[in-house]
Amino acid sequence: MATGARPTDTAPNPPRRGLRGHWPAIGLFLAVAVVGAFIILYHTPWGVGLTADGLFYFSAAENFAHGRGIYWAGSGGHLKPLVHFPPLYPFVLGLLLKLGVPLDEGARWLSAALFGVNASLLGLAVYLGTQHLWLGLVASVISLTSPAMVFTHLAAMSEPLYLALSLASLDFLALHLVTPRRGTLLLAGLATSLACLTRYVGASLLIGLPLALLCLTRGPLRTRLRDTLAFIGLSSVPVGLWLARNVFLTGSATNRSLGFHPPSPDTLRHFLDLVSAWMMPGLHSHWLEAAVMIVTFAALSVLSIRQYGLPERRRPLAPVLSLLALLCLASYLFLLTASLAFFDASTRLDNRILSPIYLLAVVAILCTLGSLLPKDRWSLLAIPVVLAAMWATVPYAVTESNGLLTAMRQEGLGFSSRSWRQSTTVAWLQTLSPEAVIYTDQVGAVGYLASRETHSVPQRYDPVTATLRGDYEQQLQTMRSSLQSPGAALVLFASTNLPEEAATLGDLTSGLILLAATSDAVIYVDPTNPIRPPLPRLE
């Protein structure tokens, strides 16, 4: 051997274990998935929560299952192409309906399965990245006890499916970056395309992941460009076809138009409060919250880049996963801000909308920690430190999550709750003649629960663009004329809390008289109408 040679610099990497060596751990994370699914199933006897957005998904799923395409039933029962939301979630619900599973049960079982799957995928990603099983289990416990994760999986929404697909795309691309293979790149592109077809904000993956491919792949620039372009093409073509379909049918790609409605300072403060409550409950200074988040992001970035620069034999999967998570987190925040400011002013920040940030932050933090720990049993010395950090947040999280789950089991959530299913007004609406014209502020709920067509109350402005509607007076006039037809009525379930975009209570009830006030609604009719609907039975 030549003098001065360093055998360690040229020695081959130790052989990597295949999946065979990981089967016990994989079995453990499958058990985590089963536990997570049971948690949701046990606490949703009334079904998962159903919101206004969920009703769009249900309507599109039902129409797809009956061969009418991805369409939803609008005011008056008119079918409209689903454009405002991507198609994958209602497509999956529609497939379940075709197999004989009712929509509410299909959504319940899907949410339950995804709650377990997401906790399992998160733990498995951290374990495979760091090679520390206990860190993977910590990740799964964090996911199962998090109020943000629990809240996200308690409603019939697309976020749980998006989380599973985004985690899959992250894992596959990390594997490709460590050991380049066409198969893992193909799977990463496929998962990313499906994520984009689940939520439009999945386009953030088309920013962060190609950037990672270009910057983190070890190899000549030509190879990196080829892989990056191949990934972008595979990921963007399916969603591109969907957007082209939308433009062809409606003239709009996503039912959004370009405008300028920047988020208010209150929106920023609300964002800081939501995120800080995940890991730092009790902070009350927005400046401190922002400073902690910025410093944490910067520290994770510096440590991950440093660990990634070490020789390959040090197993760089953990820092690769961390860097991917940080890039996707930054691109998600960028796209969410751009959407609020330029495309959709109706977006409301909550734990559901911000749930991808939560999972990405957990991946980045635990994978960075795992990359700093030794490979042997000395890593177990870090367990007390991790447990101490969890003790500051997990009891709070468990208390909050238990409150959410208990309320869900006792009363339900949204339009699938006990109060809606036992509504006196909904039961009354079911007795009315199908020809009776009904205007209401809850078109979707009445259509779903009472199985009848209704018309939406007029809107003052468009909630997506935050612009006044020029046909507002015409909408009011049309409603007043329609309420003169036999048996017509205006039914308001939230008369004291109408949406900001809806007509005011004074405009809606001008010239009308109160027919009845039930336990959950007020009913108005035109006084000149010779044939009024029958009075509801009051309990």
What are 102-121's pLDDT values in tens digits? 999 999 999 999 999 999 99
Task: Show the DSSP H helices in 146-220 as ranges.
Answer: 147-152, 159-178, 182-196, 205-216
Q: What is the pLDDT of residues 292-351, one digit of tens each?
A: 889 989 999 998 888 887 765 545 788 999 999 999 999 999 999 998 888 887 788 889
Domain boundaries, the chain: 32-411, 423-525
User: How does pLDDT run across 490-505, given as a tens digit for each residue?
Assistant: 999 988 888 888 889 9
Q: What pLDDT sits at residue 23?
A: 79
Q: Please write the tens of the pLDDT for every residue from 131-165.
A: 889 899 999 999 999 999 999 999 999 999 999 99
What local confidence, expressed as pLDDT, does residue 17 receive? Answer: 45
1 versus 274: which is more confidently predicted?
Answer: 274
Q: Would you state the pLDDT for residue 277?
A: 82
Q: What's the distance, Cα to Cα, between the start and end of the chain in Å?
A: 95
Over the chain, what is the mean pLDDT? 87
**pTM of the entire structure?**
0.88
Instruction: Tell me which amino acid residue 236 is.
Output: S
User: Would you state the pLDDT for residue 405?
Assistant: 95
Q: What is the pLDDT of residues 357-383, one digit of tens each?
A: 999 999 999 999 888 887 766 666 677
2 confidence band (pLDDT: 50, 70, 90): very low
Helix (H) or strand (E) holding 198: none
pLDDT of residue 58: 93
The pLDDT confidence band at residue 14, using thresholds 50, 70 and 90, is very low
CA-closest candidate to residue 160, choices 359, 21, 23, 343: 359
Tell me what percent of the residues of the chain surpass a pLDDT of 70.
90
The confidence score (pLDDT) of residue 13 equals 41
pLDDT tens-digit series, residues 496-534: 888 888 889 999 999 999 999 998 999 999 999 988 888
Number of H helices, E strands in the chain: 22, 9
> What pLDDT, on the 0 to 100 scale, is given for residue 311?
65
Name 525's bridge partners.
Answer: 513
Confidence band of 388 (pLDDT split at 50, 70, 90): low
| pLDDT score, position 309 | 78
Give the Cα separation of 418 and 230 in Å (integer). 50
Tell me what the mean pLDDT of segment 269-274 comes to.
Answer: 87
